């Protein structure tokens, strides 16, 4: 079982069509300065309680992860798969890719 990398446009469709957990795995500073995708929760990959917060999410829901450019979300996605999440996606290019496709962010 592995996670899927999808383009920002495909992820936007998945978010619209499914009941998803959307997790931002960046730091709170990055989230504040770069904005975030509406409906996302902050679960900083580098935080000591990352695994605990990840495991608090519903494993039966689709999980979508993003970071700044895609490196941390790939790590987080693998951790999610290892933790038993069945339907895991990461946004190709992270929030940078999302914004470069003209998709909306909140500040």
Say which residue the tokens 């935080």 belong to. Answer: 47
pLDDT in tens, 64-106: 999 999 999 999 999 999 999 999 999 999 999 999 999 999 9
Inter-CA distances, 34 with 25, 65, 98, Å:
13, 16, 11
28 band by pLDDT with thresholds 50, 70 and 90: very high
pLDDT at 4 over 80: yes
Which residues have CB under 8 Å from 31's CB, separation 6+? 24, 42
Is the whole-model pTM more than 0.95? yes
User: In this structure, are residues 23 and 64 in contact, taking their beta carbons and an 8 Å threshold?
Assistant: yes
The domains found in the chain, sorted by start residue, are 4-100 (3.40.250.10)
User: In this structure, are residues 62 and 3 in contact, taking their beta carbons and an 8 Å threshold?
Assistant: no
């Amino acid at each position: 079982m592995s996670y899927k990398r999808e383009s920002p446009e495909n992820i936007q469709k998945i978010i619209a069509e499914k009941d998803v957990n959307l997790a931002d795995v960046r730091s709170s500073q990055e989230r504040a300065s770069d904005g975030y995708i509406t409906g996302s929760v902050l679960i900083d990959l580098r935080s000591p309680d990352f695994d605990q917060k990840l495991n608090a999410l519903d494993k039966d829901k689709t999980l979508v992860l993003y970071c700044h450019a895609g490196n941390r979300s790939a790590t987080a996605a693998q951790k999610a798969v290892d933790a038993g999440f069945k339907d895991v996606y990461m946004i190709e290019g992270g929030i940078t890719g999302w914004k470069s496709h003209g998709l909306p962010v909140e500040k």
